[in-house]
A and B are shown apart, each in its own frame.
Chain A
Amino acid sequence: MYGFLIAVGVLLLLSLIWMVYRIQTLVSVVKGSDKKIASSSNKVNAILFIVFLLGAGILMFWYSIKEFDNYNLPLASEHGAVTDNLFWITMAVTGVVFIITHILLFIFPYKYQYKESRKATFYPDNNKLEVIWTIVPAIVLAILVIGGWKAWSDITAPAPENAHVVEIMGYQFAWEIRYPGVDNVLGDHDYRLINEVNNPSGVDFSDKNSFDDFTSPVMVLPKGEPVLLKIRARDVLHSVFAPHMRLKMDAVPGMPTRFWFTPTKTTAEMRQELGDDEFVYEIACTEICGRGHFSMRREIRVVEPAEYQEWLKEQKPYIVNDPTLVENVSSELKELADITISEYK
């Protein structure tokens, strides 16, 4: 019954529109306005451009200012300050161009709308103008690019020697985090060694560097010290995205990638600054990877360096939690492994 009523309503509405359409067609035939070069609609359209310019302009400024704190993400990394700066400089430059060109684009239609008495100006070219508006954008763009290029070179430069190494591996549909332990060197890995029960990231335990490697459900990082993320993927492409760190890098099966950065604010500091006790830094996936693409969440917890060292000490390596991992290694290594295990007990 409900559906029937809606159908009738829609039908009535459509027939109403139809009648209005027919009537206006007939009226325009009677008035002979369909024979004119530009009908009275010309003026209406010209005015609408101005209305649109004002309406859209006001809406844009109002929303951009009102919502600034919402869409402007808090920032917590050193290089992020540089890229954010570039972003807002670019915003200022393009914003000015955007506004000027749109004012011209919508005012011209109003100002130069058709008049039978007037003739358009025959103005086919002006090489001087063309040169000017080739060179000026070229210079402006060059300045923007050079800023971007410098920032990009710094960001992608090799990580400092003292950077804390953390491995993050994407798989359907989560991240696996591995720390290198005391030696700050990650053990080898091989995808053929992956075992979902006790070795999800395929760590090669015949490499003694892996003895002190450990995993953590949360990525804990020290504030103010460089961190090198070693990024890889197990099955399909993923992409590590830490929005507050202004960090993004694809995780590619078969090709390790990296990204280094320096966190500038602890989670606690950020909570205080935002007045939000629930705030956490997050990692998301930004490369389509299948059904659970939207749910690959990991938390980053940034702490003071001292607290970080404390935390490191509390962590237990893979082989301590599961000594069977080193069951099959050579006897020499087994001895070494046993020493490591006993140290932690």
Chain B
Amino acid sequence: MAAANVALHDTHDHDHDHEHHDNFITKYIFSTDHKMIGKQFLVTGIFWALIGGFLSILFRLQLGFPDMELYFLKPLLGGWIDDAGKLDPNFYLALVTMHGTIMVFFVLTAGLSGTFSNYLIPLQIGARDMASGFMNMLSYWFFFVSGVIMFCSLFLENGPAGGGWVVYPPLSALEQAIPGSGMGMTLWLIAMTFFIASSLLGGINYITTVINLRTKGMSFSRLPLTIWAFFLTAVIGLLSFPVLFAAALLLVFDRSFGTSFYLADIYISGEGALPNTGGSPVLYQHLFWFLGHPEVYIVLLPALGITSEVIATNSRKPIFGYKAMIISMLGITILSFVVWAHHMFVSGMNPFLGSIFMFLTLIIAIPSAVKVFNYLTTLWRGNLIFTPGMLFSIGLVSFFISGGLTGIFLGNSAIDIQLHDTYFVVAHFHLVMGSASFFGLMAGVYHWFPKMFGRMMDAKLGYVHFWLTFVGVYLVFFPMHYIGIAGFPRRYYSWTNFEFSNMYTDLNMFVSAAAIITFAAQFIFLFNFFYSMYRGKKASLNPWRSTTLEWTTPLFPGHGNWPGEIPSVYRWPYDYSKPGAKEDFIPQTVPLSATPESNLPHEQELVKLEKEIIAEEEQVLVANGSKEV
């Protein structure tokens, strides 16, 4: 981190306005500027994505090349490679667990939501900063501490937590059952506690800021879809993360204080019967998935929000069905809380609950389908510019379709009996949640890089990065559907013990090779990202010719974002290619009264109203606004 922060320092050194006279520490480390905090989240998220991706390469080596001797990894993994050059099965499980935890929480929650909610909310709604800059700073540093603890757990002698990212008890409660449930699990729980605190601090801030600090004229019906997405994501997080905390807390009690919330009737080989009775492991699963399922939407909604923005901008068309998009997101937000038990159809819970959750689950597919159709219609008869951000957005829509459709199989409890915990599930959520959200993150980085760092990322490298990653992701995850239909279970160190799964060594090798290539392709992005930060082409003020407020700030906005007054907003954010208008976009700051040639009938009526408001305003604002046209 320190190095990265130094890097950020250099870029900004030469032209930032010295309104606050920040020193290095208050500006780059303990910063309360939402833009710096967003960048901190981004760089930390990238760091974790590399670790998480690397862990997946390690276990893909085991799965794709089970006979390979891994001595060359001994300098790195030490005792986890045994004398025969094989990966330790316990460490394999730890790798799977850490890959999941890191990717879901550190990369796709903090790295995506943390980065873009922080960076974009004040800029797009027209606010000086978050409602509480200090809480925002705390949010980052809690996340940072959480990361440090999780990182330390990777180096424990008994390994990090190894019970799967869901850490179901009793496995996660009993050190005797798996070594990772010792210190590794303790650190996992501590890290997650800090992480939850960080999420809540961030979420409260996002919600407060969106509700209270919108600039004049920025009504909820004029918010960009990104802000709607971040807002609803924060609401979901605020309601669901505390439940994870409760689940974790009870687990801490079971682990350390002899309670029996989740433990009952357990006999440990070589040790004997444990005294715990009356607990229910299924209780933990209910609590966990009460967060766990909304979590899927916590990582997905921001990506969908970003995509809406990027697709509209680069199609030079308004997003199709702005209101339908908002209603869909609202629907997803509410429904996301009542579908959790579809992860538990065969957990032993009452089958009647299974029926209920099957109905509710398939209902949530409807708003998702509406979103896809709306994206497609937005592309239809557009004037498409393939910036790297646009490419990643189209890729996201593809993953969202592919992974979403397989959800219809898994949400159907009768079909789920066979598919549950097979590679079909792995394929499903890696496409719809993992890759789609990751592509949203990438789209966001490519799209807002010019605003973040005042320079452009190289487009051609972006194209190469996109195509390698897009094709690579499909080559990795599409074959997993076949493996899953064939019944290959998840979290298996090797499949050769079973006759039904003693095949597809070729396909697994193919998947592993594709995973390595896809991972390698990310270094193109890394180079592009850090190189462009210093040496990229200087960006113009509004490189994508976009309508939203962030592009009205100076190239290097200081703390406070706009040097003078905050601009007022007079229209919705999607006035692209409006008939009659000279340019193919009209920024939100342009009053309707300044564009009589392109106003729609109902907007013409608003002009009168608007004039009254403007009359009250400073003349400067009008001048500022018109100048943008």
Residues of A at the B interface (CB closer than 8 Å) are 21, 24-25, 28, 34, 37-39, 41-42, 44-46, 48-49, 52, 56, 60, 63-64, 67, 70-73, 80, 82-84, 86-87, 90-91, 93-94, 97-98, 101-102, 104-106, 108-109, 112-115, 118-126, 129-130, 133-134, 137-138, 141-142, 144-145, 147-149, 151-153, 155-156, 171-172, 191-192, 194, 196, 202, 231, 234-237, 239, 241, 243-244, 246-250, 252-255, 257, 278-280, 282, 284-295, 297
Contact of B596 with A by CB under 8 A: no
Contact of B156 with A by CB under 8 A: no
CB distance from B488 to the nearest CB of A (A): 9
Chain B residues whose C-beta falls within 8 Å of the C-beta of A87 in the assembled complex: 409, 415, 418
Of all A-B residue pairs in the complex, the 7 with the closest CB atoms, nearest first, are A254-B264, A156-B351, A243-B487, A257-B348, A151-B414, A148-B412, A120-B577
> Do A239 and B281 touch (CB < 8 A)?
no
Chain A residues whose C-beta falls within 8 Å of the C-beta of B497 in the assembled complex: 294-295, 297
Contact of B315 with A by CB under 8 A: yes
> Do B269 and A196 touch (CB < 8 A)?
yes
Q: With contacts A72-B485, A153-B355, A241-B489 known, is A48 near B467, CB below 8 A?
A: yes
Q: With contacts A171-B269, A191-B265, A255-B282 known, is A71 near B463, CB below 8 A?
A: no
> Do A123 and B170 touch (CB < 8 A)?
no
Chain A residues whose C-beta falls within 8 Å of the C-beta of B494 in the assembled complex: 294
Q: With contacts A155-B417, A194-B267 known, is A101 near B376, CB below 8 A?
A: yes
Pick the contact of A122: B163, B351, B577 (CB < 8 A): B577
Q: Which residue of B lies closest to A25 (CB)?
A: B458
Pick the contact of A248: B270, B282, B409, B420 (CB < 8 A): B420
Contact of B16 with A by CB under 8 A: no
Chain B residues whose C-beta falls within 8 Å of the C-beta of A115 in the assembled complex: 383
Residues of B86-104 at the interface with A, using a CB-CB cut-off of 8 Å, are 89-90, 93
CA of A38 to CA of B354, assembled, Å: 51
The segment from B108-116, B203-211, B248-256, B367-375 found at the interface with A is B367-375
CB distance from B23 to the nearest CB of A (A): 36
> Do A141 and B579 touch (CB < 8 A)?
no
| Additional A-B contacts beyond A120-B381, A130-B374, A237-B170 (8; CB < 8 A) | A21-B458, A63-B482, A86-B414, A97-B405, A108-B379, A109-B384, A121-B577, A254-B264
> Do B412 and A86 touch (CB < 8 A)?
yes
Q: How many A-B residue pairs have CB under 8 A?
A: 348
Q: With contacts A39-B459, A125-B321, A152-B413 known, is A243 near B418, CB below 8 A?
A: yes
Count class of interface residues, chain B = 35 or more
CA of A82 to CA of B263, assembled, Å: 36
Q: Which residue of B lies closest to A29 (CB)?
A: B537
CA of A244 to CA of B319, assembled, Å: 47
Chain A residues whose C-beta falls within 8 Å of the C-beta of B412 in the assembled complex: 86, 90, 144-145, 148
Per-residue CB contact flags for chain B residues 62-106 toward chain A (1 = under 8 Å, else 0) read 000000000000000000000000000110010000000000000
Q: With contacts A118-B383, A125-B320, A149-B358 known, is A250 near B415, CB below 8 A?
A: no
Q: Which residue of B lies closest to A83 (CB)?
A: B414
CB distance from A210 to the nearest CB of B (A): 18
> Do A235 and B359 touch (CB < 8 A)?
no
Contact of B461 with A by CB under 8 A: yes
Chain A residues whose C-beta falls within 8 Å of the C-beta of B376 in the assembled complex: 101, 104-105, 108
Chain B residues whose C-beta falls within 8 Å of the C-beta of A60 in the assembled complex: 478
> Do A155 and B418 touch (CB < 8 A)?
no
Chain A residues whose C-beta falls within 8 Å of the C-beta of B401 in the assembled complex: 97-98, 101-102, 105
> Do A112 and B383 touch (CB < 8 A)?
yes
Q: With contacts A90-B412, A152-B358, A254-B277 known, is A113 near B386, CB below 8 A?
A: yes
The segment from B215-223, B299-307, B391-399 found at the interface with A is B391-399
> Do B421 and A239 touch (CB < 8 A)?
yes
> Do A70 and B503 touch (CB < 8 A)?
yes
Pick the contact of A294: B89, B316, B576 (CB < 8 A): B89
Chain A residues whose C-beta falls within 8 Å of the C-beta of B265 in the assembled complex: 191, 253-254
Chain A residues whose C-beta falls within 8 Å of the C-beta of B391 in the assembled complex: 45
